[in-house]
Amino acid sequence: MNFQDESSMTRIIQESVPGKQVTIAHVIASPTPDIFERLGIDNNGAIGILTLTPYETAMIAADIATKAARVEIGFLDRFTGSVVISGDVQSVTIALERVVDTLKNLLGFTVVPVTKT
């Protein structure tokens, strides 16, 4: 048997520490009606999805998005940092771009580009 002295063992503790980040900023340009139905939101043409840390940033993002373009908030969760907006494709795109730009330039967030499918 091989016994090791506990003092020679390395112990690693990992934890997640969210930074100031936009991790997803995506436009679904023409979702099927089924997606709107399953999300429980009105079919307004397009869906915008954001995930953010710290999670409370979801409130700021929703405010920026609704002031930037004619979009509706479909979902907002300040406990997970998720925001879903809906509107026409151009409005959703403009809203997400404004959110990403404002969080980057005003609050120093690390951001991703706005993507579209």
Residue of 82, 95, 67, 94 lying closest to 22 (CA atoms): 82
pLDDT band at 18 (very low <50, low <70, confident <90, very high): low
> Does the pLDDT of residue 56 top 80, yes or no?
yes
Backbone angles phi, psi at 104, to 5 degrees: -70, -50
The pLDDT score that the predictor gives to residue 27 is 98
Average pLDDT, the chain: 90
Using one digit for the tens of pLDDT, what is the confidence trace for 72-86? Answer: 999 999 999 999 999
Mean pLDDT across 4-28: 76
Which residues touch 14 (CB under 8 Å, ≥6 apart)?
Answer: none
Mean pLDDT across 79-94: 97
Residue of 38, 83, 90, 37 lying closest to 59 (CA atoms): 83
Domains of the chain with CATH codes = 37-116 (3.30.70.1710)
> Does the pLDDT of residue 66 top 80, yes or no?
yes
Question: Which residues sit opposite 71 in a β-bridge?
Answer: none
pTM: 0.82
> Does the pLDDT of residue 88 top 90, yes or no?
yes
Mean pLDDT across 28-33: 94
